[in-house]
Homo-oligomer: A and B are copies of this chain.
């Protein structure tokens, strides 16, 4: 893993490089995570989900991003989490909370939390890892901005990794699966700075929970406000905003 390709370089796709699964939503965090995985020399297989999210526009962004990064493969899995309900991200009858500034975002578990979402996503990444003989999974969870989401915390990720190594044929055969969370302790501003240093084009990404057609950020949901603050702290304009 000595190669240092740029974000859009296919050098990491050499078959000699180890395979990794990257969960790619099409947002700012997961795109930065993808750039980091490629920079570390992994041959990346991306995994995205059409899970009933109201912000499905992000999936088109994910496809564009995967193409631009020239990843080894990109799979979009359909799994309807809306049928379980319980979240404003999947239930059109619930309202995505809006604020004027990021400082108004509370520390409690928000209604945009989707029950067991990261567990479902990581489980499917585990299935994909096993069939690609990959021992590495990258997920762009962040414990600072998403302190209210139980499945964005380090202790959760550690427990998932322990379970995953007992769950699979690879684990039984002595291979060690690692869940990488390179963003977990970074602020949004630090994530953006990291991505920019790797050549990420954030104009391609969409973070909004509740975008207007054809994918225009609302500017007031938690995801928009955290993103806006991250760019402001870097004193740069968010290239995705006209």
Contact = CB atoms under 8 A, between A and B. Distances in A.
A80 B128 CA distance: 12
Interface in A138-155: 150-151, 153, 155
A118 interface: yes
Given A119-B164, A160-B163, A164-B119, A81 B153 contact: no
A85 interface: yes
A163 B166 contact: no
A74 to B, nearest CB: 12
Contact of A78 (B78, B122, B160): B78
Interface string A167-188: 1110110000000000000000
Interface string A106-145: 0001000111111110111011101100000000000000
A168 B131 contact: no
Residue of A78, A114, A119 ringed by the most chain B CB atoms within 10 A: A119
A75 interface: yes
Given A77-B80, A123-B116, A159-B159, A109 B164 contact: no
A79 B80 CA distance: 8
B163 A167 contact: no
Contacts of A115: 126-127, 130-131, 168-169
A119 B109 contact: no
A167 B164 CA distance: 14
A128 to B, nearest CB: 5
4 nearest CB pairs, A to B: A115-B130, A116-B127, A159-B163, A86-B131
Interface of A: 75, 77-81, 83-86, 109, 113-120, 122-124, 126-128, 130-131, 150-151, 153, 155-156, 159-160, 162-164, 166-169, 171-172
23 contacts: A77-B79, A77-B80, A79-B124, A84-B128, A84-B130, A109-B169, A109-B172, A114-B127, A116-B126, A116-B127, A117-B127, A118-B167, A119-B123, A119-B126, A119-B167, A120-B120, A122-B123, A150-B166, A151-B166, A151-B168, A156-B166, A156-B167, A162-B162
